[in-house]
Structure 1
Amino acid sequence: MADRLPAQAEVVIVGGGIVGCSIAYHLTKLGITDVVLLERRQLTCGTTWHAAGLIGQLRSSRQLTELAKYTSELLYELERETGQATGFKQNGSVSVALNQERFEELKRGASMAKNFGLDVQVIGRDDITRLWPLLDLDGVVGGVFLPKDGQANPTDITQAFAKGARMRGAKIVENLKVEKLLVENGRAVGVRTEEGVLKARTVVLAAGMWSRELAAAAGVSIPLHAAEHFYIVTEAVDGLPNNLPVLRVPDECAYYKEDAGKLLVGAFEPVAKPWGMSGIPEDFCFDALPDDFDHFEPILLDAARRVPVLERTGIKTFFNGPESFTPDDRYLLGETAEVRDLFVACGFNSIGIQSSGGAGKALAQWIRDRHPPADLSDVDVRRMHPFQGTKAYLRDRTTETLGLLYAMHWPFRQVETARGARRSPLHDRLVAAGAVMGEVAGWERANWYAPPRSDAKYAYSWGRQNWFDRCADECRAVRDEVALFDQTSFAKFMVQGPDATRALNWLSTSNVDVPVGKMVYTQWLNARGGIEADLTITRTGPQAYMVVTAGATQTRDFSWLERNLPADARCIATDVTSSYAVLGVMGPQSRALLEKLSGEDLSDARFPFATSREIEIGYARVRASRITFVGELGWELYVPMEFAVHVYDRLMDEGAPFGLRLAGYHAMNSCRTEKGYRHWGHDIGIADNPLDAGLGFCVAWEKAGGFIGLDALREARTRTPPTRRMVQFRLADPSKLLYHEEPIWCGGEIVGSITSGMFGHRLGASLGMGYVTHDAGVTAQWLAENAFEIEVAWERVPAQASLAPFYDPENARIKS
C-alpha cells in the first residue's frame, strides 16, 4: 500500500477526468510536484470519455474567454511536450441564425468577441455555403465564423495532461475510491480511501457528478446535477470534407461536427432529463444511459431537414451519457466558503473540454497563491447559496439549464424552473399589485409592475421590451413623487463586540469609527487593491454595526468577513439576512410621507444624509436609513420580518396623496445607471481598484491601523493621471440599447468595454458605463477632445463620454 498510496502529499486531487488531470499538470508546471490524483475507476470514465470535444473560445466574459483561448493554444504545446496526440483540429466554428433576433444575438456576441481579441467574422448566406456546403439554407439569415475554434479528442487530451503531470513527479492512482473528505477545525486535511488515509495541505474536488455527495458529507454545498445528454454518430458519409467547421444551429438546438468521415449530431434540447437522483451506480465506468429515441427524435427530424445528407445516411451510434450542470450554467471553481483549503473544479455544463486547460491553470495558480489569478467571480463557487444544493432544487432547475445553452440569451431573461425558493413577506401583495417577478439568488423580486388587466409577463426582445413604458412610469415616480421598492433580498450581517470597530476598519477602505447612527459607504479590498465587496456599514451601537450588501453576494461576502476578521479581535459576525425586510421609500415626497406616518421631524437638519435611526411606523419600530441607490431623496426601512406586511400596508394606506407608486428593480437599475452608481460583479470586481473605479472618495488614506489593500492603493495612486478609469456614456441614438461588454472605440481603436448599460428614463437617453484605457491618462480634457463610439451588434454608435454622472452630478437631489 505504501507504494500505491503515500501517507501525505502537498495536494490531493479527487477525480481523474480532463479537469482533474489538467489541474495536476498545471500544478507541476508551477513547481508543485508533490501531487497525488485519485480516480475511483479509470481516467476519463465518468463524463470526459463521451464528450463531443468541441473547442470554442468565446464565453460570456473576458476572463472566461481568456481561459478558453488558453486551452486551444495549449493543445499544440501539450502534444509537442508529451508526445501524446490530442486530436486537436483548428477548423473553426460557424453559428447560424434562423431569424433576425438570433442574428442580433450572434452579432452582439461577435462584437464582444472582437472586444476580447478573438478573430471573428459576421457572415452571410454565401459564406455559410462555402464553409458548410452540406447545409440547407432554408430560413438562414446570417451567421458568425470564428476561425480559431476547433475540435479535439477528450480522452487523448486527458491522457496528455496525465502524462505531463507524471513527467514532473505527480502520482496518479486509478481504481481507488475516495470515501470521505477529511476536515479538521474548518480546514480540509486529506481524504480517506478504501486503502487508508492520505493527508494533504490542499484537497481538490474535481469528481464531476460525484462531487456533490462527497462535499455534502463534509458540510459543503456543491450545487450540480447530472443530466442526460444525447448525440448520434452516422455511418461514413461519402465525400464529407474533413475540414468542416463545427456547426451550431441554436434555433434548432443542434450542433454538428465531422468525426473521422462521419457526422456527429448533438443537442441541447429545451426540456432536459435530469439523471442520478437516486445516486450513481457503484460500478459506473465508461457507461452509457438507456436510449430514449422519442426524446431525441424532434431534434433529429430538424437535423435531417437542415443537413439533407442525414436522410440517406444510417446511424452507427445513438449515444446518451450524463453530464453535470449547475443552477446558472457556469462552472464551479475555487476555494469553498465552508471549508478552507478545499478547492473545487466541477459542474462544467458541457464545456469541460474547452475549459479544461484554462480552468486547470487558473485553479493551480489559485492553490499556489491562495487567491484567484484574475476576476473569476463568474465561476467562483462562493457565488452559490446553500439552498441551491438541495436535491429537489437541482433536479427542477436542471430540466432547464441544459437547454439554456442554446436558447436565446435575451437581456433580462428570467429562469422559469425552481422558482419561489425565497420570498419576502410582501410577495403576495406585490403580485396582486401587478408585480412581474425576477429571480436573484433564489429571491423573488419585483422587476416591474404591469398595469391592471394586462398580461403580467415578459415579452423578450433585443430592443425595448414590453415593460419599457412601465419602467418609465416608475422612474418618473421616483423623480417627481415617491416610489416604494421591496429590497428585502439585501444581505445583512451584524458585527458586534469590543473590537468590532477595529475589525471592520481593517476590512474597510473608509473609516467606520463614526458616531452611533452614522452610515458609511465603503469597499472591502484584497491585498492587491481589488474590490472584494461594495457595501454600507451602519454603526448601530458603541460596539455594534450592521453591514448591508447585495443578496447575490451573501455567501461570498459573509465568508470574506469571517475569514478576514483579525484573529485576536473580540467580536462576532452573524448573518441576519432572514431577520429583516427592507423597504426603499424613494423620491422627493418620501420625507413628507414618512413624517406623516412616523410623526418625526425628518428634515435635512434633523436627519441628514447617511444617518440611520429607529422610528415608529404604526405598531412597529423600524430602522430608517437615509441612503439611496436611485439618486433621489429617500430612506431604506429595515423592518423585522414579522412587521413587514403591517408597515407595507401603512405605507400604501397613506401613500396616495403623495403619489406613492410601487417600483421594481428595472427602474432601480435605470436610475442607478443615470447616477453612475457602481454594481459589484459588473462595474467593479476583484481586479478593479477604487481609484480606477472612481471611488477614491471612499478611501481613508491616513486611517489608524490602515486596511487590507492600502499598500497596493498607495502604489496605484502614484500613477497620475490614471491610465484606466470608469467613464459614463450617453448614446446619440436612444433606440440602441447597451447591456454588457460592447466595445468602446476612440480614434479607430478599441479603448475599453461597457460594463453595464440601461435606458435612463429621467434623461430620455440610452446609457452605459465602462472602463477606458489611455496610456497618457484618462482625463476630462482628453474625453472632451475625442470622439467615442460604442459598437452595438457590429455597428458603431456615436456616444458622449463623461467622468461625472449625467443625472444630478452635484448630488443636490439626494441631499435636499
Structure 2
Amino acid sequence: MAVPPSHARVVIIGGGVIGCSVAYHLTKLGWTDVVLLERKQLTSGTTWHAAGLIAQLRATANMTRLAKYSQELYGNLEEETGVATGFKRCGSITVALTEERREEILRQAAMARAFGVEVEEISPAEVKARYAHLNTEGVTGAVYLDKDGQGDPANIALALAKGARQRGAQVLERTRATGIVKDGRRVTGVDWEQGGESGHITADMVVNCSGMWAHEVGRMAGVNVPLHACEHFYIVTEAIAGLTQLPVLRVPDECAYYKEDAGKMLLGAFEPNAKPWGMNGIPADFEFDQLPEDFDHFEPILERAVARMPMLAEAGIHTFFNGPESFTPDDAYHLGLAPELDNFWVAAGFNSIGIQSAGGAGMALAQWIEAGEKPFDLGDVDISRMQPFQGNKTYLFERSKETLGLLYADHFPFRQKETARGIRRSPFHQHLRDNRAVMGELAGWERANWIARPDQTAEYEYSWKRQNFFDNVAEEVAAVRNNVGMYDMSSFGKIRVEGRDVVAFMNHVGGGQYDVPAGKIVYTQFLNPRGGIEADVTVTRISETAFLVVTPAATRLADQAWMMRHAGDFNVVITDVTAGEGVLAVMGPRSRELLQMVSPNDFSNDVNPFGTAQEIELGMGLARVHRVTYVGELGWEVYVSTDMAGHVFETLMEAGQALDLKLCGMHMMDCARMEKGFRHFGHDITCEDHVLEAGLGFAVKTDKPSFIGRDAVLRKKDEGLKKRLLQFRLTDPEPLLYHNEPIMRNGEIVGYLASGAYGHTLGGAMGLGYVPCAGEAAAEVLASDYHIDVAGTLVKAEASLKPMYDPRSERVKA
C-alpha cells in the first residue's frame, strides 16, 4: 500500500463524493501535487448509501448553477473515466397536497424560469398520465423538471477519484488523518496513520471533506464546522413485475420521495422529528455500516406511502435501510475558507443532497482555491456564516432533530426554526418579550421581528399570503414614517479596529475615505479586486486611533476575517465587541423630540448632523448616539453599554408614552428599507455584484491613492455598466414579493428580484433586482415595460433608479 509523500500542495481529508470531486476539479485546473486521505475505503461513510437523486433547482441562482453543473458533469463522467455512473435523466415530479404547497411549487417554478431551468407546471391528470402508479387524490398541483435524474452515488465518487488519479492525484485509502499542525493562522501539515505506521505530510493547504467526521477534523485545526449526523431511513421493495423507469417523485406533504431502481421501488423519508446519531462520536471502525432498524419510527411514513402508491401494499420489502447523514444548523452545506485560518478549506455537511451538490461544489471550491477568491457569490454556503457557538454539541444535537425534516417542510416566508432557540439574547430581550415581541432568530440572535397586539396570539401563523403580522408591521412602518418608533439593533456586529496605522489600514481595506474627524460616520463597502462587494458596513471614527465597524449580524465573523486577512504589516488590533453594547434605533420625525426629553445634549443639525456620532447623557446613564438610518427617516442609533441597557430602554419607553412611541421589529425595518431602496448584503449586493452596478458609487472614493478594488472601479467607469440595480413596485396592491421572482422586461425574462418586501407607505409589494443594460442610457432602461412573475401570474411593475420614497433624503437630514 502506498504511503503518503512527505509534501503535497494540498491534502484533502475524506474520500466521499465531495472529497473526490475537489480532487478531480483541482487536477482539472492543472494541480498534480494533490493527496487525498481516506480513513477506510472511498465512499464508506455516507456516499455509498445515498439515494442518488440529482435535481437542478435550488433556492438561489448560484446554488442552481452548481446543481446544473453537477448533472452535466455526471452525464459525461462515464465517457471520460470508463466508470459507469448509472446517471440517467429520468425527470422529476413534485406534487402538492395543499393550496399553500401549490403556491410554493408554483413560485419555485417561476424561480426556475428565472434561473434558466426547464420546468413544466402539470395538472393532477397529467401527473397520473406520467406516473400511473400514483393515487392522485388530494393533489392540488405539480411541477415536472425534464432534466432531473438519478445516479449511482458510489460509482459517481469512484469515477471522480479515477479522473483525479488519471491527472496525477494520489488517492490513499486506509490512511487516517490523526492531527493537523499549525503555525499562527496557517496549517503546515497533517499527521497520518496507516496500518500501524504513522508519519507527517507537510502541505501548502488542507481541505476538510470529512462528512460526518468534519466537526471532529475541524477541531484538530481549531476550526468550527457545525454539523451533526442523523439517522436517514428508506426502504427498497422486492422486484415489482412490469415496473419500468419512472421520474423521481417527491411528495413533501407526506415527507416522502420515490425512485424506481432496477425494477424495484425505493421509498425515502425526511420525517419532521429526526433522530440524531453519534452523540458520543462515530465508532472508529465505522465502514459501510448500517444503523439499527426502527420500524416504529418509519411506520407513519410507510402508511401514507401505501395509500399514495397502492402497489407498495403488494410488494415485499427487500431492504429496510437506516444510515447516517450529516446536517448543518441551517440546512445549507459548508464550503470555503475557514475564517479561523488562511489556508484551511471546508466542504462538508451536505444535508442529504450531497450527490446533486458535489460536482458543482467541488468545481466552485477548486476555483476558489486556485484563484484565492470566490468565483461567484457563495454566501448561502460559505462556512464563515456559521457562528462560533454553533459548534456546541448540545446545540447541534437539539437543532439536528429539526433540520432533516425541514427539507420537506413548507418553506414559508419568515419561517423560524423551533429547536435550539434562546441562546443569544440582547440586553433588551426580556423588555421586548414583556411588550409582546414575537421573536425570530438570526445567527443565533433572538430578535424582535414584530410586536403583537394585546388581543393577538404572539406567534407566527405561516402562509404564502398575508401573514398574521401584516397589519402590525403596517402600523409599525406608519409610526416610523409619521411619528416615532424604536427597535432593537443589538445583534448587528460591532468590530473595534484600533492601532497607530488604523487610518491607513481602513483606507486600504475599504472603499470610503476614513481620514475624517472623530465622531464622523462613513457608510462604505469592502471590495474585492473585481470591484465586487465583500462587506457593507458603517464605520465610525471613535478616536484618533480607533474605529467601530458595524456589520450585519450574520456576516460579523466573515467581515472580521476579511479585515484580519488584509491586515498585513499594518499595526492594528481587530476585536469583536458585539456583546459589549446594546443598541436601540429611535427613528421617525419626532425622534429628536424624544431624545431631547431624556438627554441634556444637543441633537440639532449644527451639533449632530446626519452621519455623525456623539457621546451623551441619557436618563441617569451614558450612551453614544449615531445619526444614521436604515429606514429612511430622521433618527439615531443609541449605543449603550450592556450594564446600563435596561435603564436606557425604560427611560426611553417611559418618556415615549407622551409621544405615542411604538416598539417595532425587524420586519418593519426590512419593509421601510425596501421603500427607500437601501441595499441588503447577501441579497441585493454580494461579492459578484460590482459596486457601481449596485448604485453605490457615491460611497467609493477613487481619489484615494490605493485600496482593494480601486482599479476595478476605475475600469468599470471607463467600460460602462452592464447591469443596473432597479427598484420595483407592483401596481396591484394584492400580490406579495419575497425574492427570486422573475423580472420581465418587454415580455422577456431578464433577471430576478434579489429581495422583496411590502411597501406599506407606497401601497404595494416592492423588490430590488438587476437588469442588463449594456450600452443603454438610464432613461432607456426605465422606459421599458416591466412585469414581475408571481407564481406564474405576470403583474405590472413600476421601475426606478432613484428611491421611490424620499428620493432626495430630505427626511433623513431634517
The residue number in structure 2 matching 1:167 is 166
What SS class does the counterpart of residue 472 from structure 1 fall into? helix
The residue number in structure 2 matching 1:613 is 614
The residue number in structure 1 matching 2:668 is 667
The residue number in structure 2 matching 1:810 is 808
- 2 CA distance for matches of 1:356 and 1:537? 39
Could you tell me whether the CA contact under 8 Å between 1:507 and 1:564 is conserved in 2?
A: yes
Alignment identity in percent? 55
What SS class does the counterpart of residue 410 from structure 1 fall into? coil
The residue number in structure 1 matching 2:786 is 788
Could you tell me whether the CA contact under 8 Å between 2:67 and 2:357 is conserved in 1?
A: yes
Could you tell me whether the CA contact under 8 Å between 1:97 and 1:103 is conserved in 2?
A: yes
Q: Which amino acid aligns with 2:303?
A: L
What SS class does the counterpart of residue 767 from structure 1 fall into? strand
Could you tell me whether the CA contact under 8 Å between 1:463 and 1:735 is conserved in 2?
A: no
Could you tell me whether the CA contact under 8 Å between 2:85 and 2:155 is conserved in 1?
A: yes
The residue number in structure 2 matching 1:427 is 429
Which has the higher mean CA deviation after the structures are superposed, 302-311 or 425-434?
Answer: 425-434
The residue number in structure 2 matching 1:406 is 408
Could you tell me whether the CA contact under 8 Å between 2:234 and 2:269 is conserved in 1?
A: yes
The residue number in structure 1 matching 2:536 is 534
The offset of 1:429, in angstroms, is 1.2
Match among 467, 470, 473 for residue 468 of structure 1? 470
- 1 CA distance for matches of 2:509 and 2:675? 29
Match among 198, 203, 211 for residue 208 of structure 1? 211
Match among 417, 420, 423 for residue 419 of structure 2? 417
The offset of 1:73, in angstroms, is 0.5
- 1 CA distance for matches of 2:734 and 2:213? 48
Residues 600-679 of structure 1: pairs in structure 2 closer than 5 A? 600-679=601-680
Could you tell me whether the CA contact under 8 Å between 1:111 and 1:794 is conserved in 2?
A: yes
The residue number in structure 1 matching 2:23 is 24
- 1 CA distance for matches of 2:224 and 2:454? 42
Residues 69-218 of structure 1: pairs in structure 2 closer than 5 A? 69-194=68-193, 195-218=198-221
- 2 CA distance for matches of 1:600 and 1:211? 54
Residues 359-508 of structure 1: pairs in structure 2 closer than 5 A? 359-508=361-510
Q: With structure 1 as the length reference, what TM-score do the two structures score? A: 0.98
Task: Provide, for residues 772-793 of structure 1, a one-character-per-residue CA deviation record: whole Å limited to 9, x for no partner.
Answer: 11333251x2234211000010
- 1 CA distance for matches of 2:546 and 2:343? 31
- 2 CA distance for matches of 1:561 and 1:202? 21
The residue number in structure 1 matching 2:360 is 358
Q: Which amino acid aligns with 1:50?
A: H
Could you tell me whether the CA contact under 8 Å between 2:335 and 2:383 is conserved in 1?
A: yes
Task: Provide, for residues 232-286 of structure 1, a one-character-per-residue CA deviation record: whole Å limited to 9, x for no partner.
Answer: 00011111122x0000000000000001100000010001000011010010000
Match among 506, 512, 522 for residue 514 of structure 2? 512
RMSD: 0.9
What SS class does the counterpart of residue 274 from structure 1 fall into? coil
Match among 250, 269, 275 for residue 273 of structure 1? 275
Listed as ranges, the gaps of 5+ residues in structure 2 are none
- 2 CA distance for matches of 1:425 and 1:514? 31
Match among 323, 326, 329 for residue 324 of structure 1? 326
The residue number in structure 2 matching 1:228 is 231
Could you tell me whether the CA contact under 8 Å between 1:772 and 1:778 is conserved in 2?
A: no
- 2 CA distance for matches of 1:499 and 1:774? 41
Match among 790, 798, 801 for residue 800 of structure 1? 798
Q: Which amino acid aligns with 2:91?
A: G
- 1 CA distance for matches of 2:45 and 2:722? 48
- 2 CA distance for matches of 1:360 and 1:752? 26
Task: Provide, for residues 732-768 of structure 1, a one-character-per-residue CA deviation record: whole Å limited to 9, x for no partner.
Answer: 1111111111110012211111011111112222111
- 2 CA distance for matches of 1:763 and 1:732? 10
- 2 CA distance for matches of 1:570 and 1:783? 47
The offset of 1:599, in angstroms, is 1.4
Q: Which amino acid aligns with 2:776?
A: G
What SS class does the counterpart of residue 574 from structure 1 fall into? strand
Residues 758-797 of structure 1: pairs in structure 2 closer than 5 A? 758-777=757-776, 779=778, 781-797=779-795
The residue number in structure 1 matching 2:307 is 305
The residue number in structure 1 matching 2:569 is 568
- 1 CA distance for matches of 2:782 and 2:699? 26
Q: With structure 2 as the length reference, what TM-score do the two structures score? A: 0.99
The offset of 1:627, in angstroms, is 0.5
Question: Which portions of structure 1, spanning 4 or more consecutive aligned residues, are displaced by more than 3 angstroms?
Answer: none
Residues 691-730 of structure 1: pairs in structure 2 closer than 5 A? 691-703=692-704, 705-720=705-720, 722-730=721-729
- 2 CA distance for matches of 1:571 and 1:173? 43
Q: Which amino acid aligns with 2:76?
A: E
The residue number in structure 2 matching 1:263 is 265
Task: Provide, for residues 395-428 of structure 1, a one-character-per-residue CA deviation record: whole Å limited to 9, x for no partner.
Answer: 0100000000000000011110110010011111
Could you tell me whether the CA contact under 8 Å between 1:783 and 1:802 is conserved in 2?
A: no
Could you tell me whether the CA contact under 8 Å between 2:75 and 2:88 is conserved in 1?
A: no
- 1 CA distance for matches of 2:781 and 2:723? 12
Match among 305, 315, 340 for residue 338 of structure 1? 340
**How many residues are matched?**
810
The offset of 1:453, in angstroms, is 3.7
Task: Provide, for residues 69-117 of structure 1, a one-character-per-residue CA deviation record: whole Å limited to 9, x for no partner.
Answer: 0111011221111111100010000000001110110010011111111
- 1 CA distance for matches of 2:608 and 2:175? 66
Could you tell me whether the CA contact under 8 Å between 2:191 and 2:199 is conserved in 1?
A: yes
Task: Provide, for residues 558-589 of structure 1, a one-character-per-residue CA deviation record: whole Å limited to 9, x for no partner.
Answer: 10111112x22122111111101001000111
- 2 CA distance for matches of 1:100 and 1:392? 37
The residue number in structure 2 matching 1:12 is 11
Could you tell me whether the CA contact under 8 Å between 2:483 and 2:588 is conserved in 1?
A: yes
Residues 60-75 of structure 1: pairs in structure 2 closer than 5 A? 60-75=59-74
Q: Which amino acid aligns with 2:488?
A: D
Q: Which amino acid aligns with 2:209?
A: A
Could you tell me whether the CA contact under 8 Å between 1:789 and 1:797 is conserved in 2?
A: yes
Task: Provide, for residues 131-158 of structure 1, a one-character-per-residue CA deviation record: whole Å limited to 9, x for no partner.
Answer: 1110001100110000000000001111
Q: Which amino acid aligns with 1:397?
A: R
Could you tell me whether the CA contact under 8 Å between 1:693 and 1:725 is conserved in 2?
A: yes
Could you tell me whether the CA contact under 8 Å between 1:724 and 1:778 is conserved in 2?
A: no
- 2 CA distance for matches of 1:220 and 1:24? 21
- 1 CA distance for matches of 2:571 and 2:782? 51
- 1 CA distance for matches of 2:341 and 2:484? 45
- 1 CA distance for matches of 2:167 and 2:149? 29
Could you tell me whether the CA contact under 8 Å between 2:773 and 2:781 is conserved in 1?
A: no
What SS class does the counterpart of residue 593 from structure 1 fall into? helix
The offset of 1:217, in angstroms, is 2.7
- 2 CA distance for matches of 1:777 and 1:678? 23
Task: Provide, for residues 326-349 of structure 1, a one-character-per-residue CA deviation record: whole Å limited to 9, x for no partner.
Answer: 000000001100012111100000
Could you tell me whether the CA contact under 8 Å between 1:226 and 1:322 is conserved in 2?
A: yes
Could you tell me whether the CA contact under 8 Å between 1:751 and 1:774 is conserved in 2?
A: no
- 2 CA distance for matches of 1:774 and 1:110? 26
What SS class does the counterpart of residue 228 from structure 1 fall into? strand
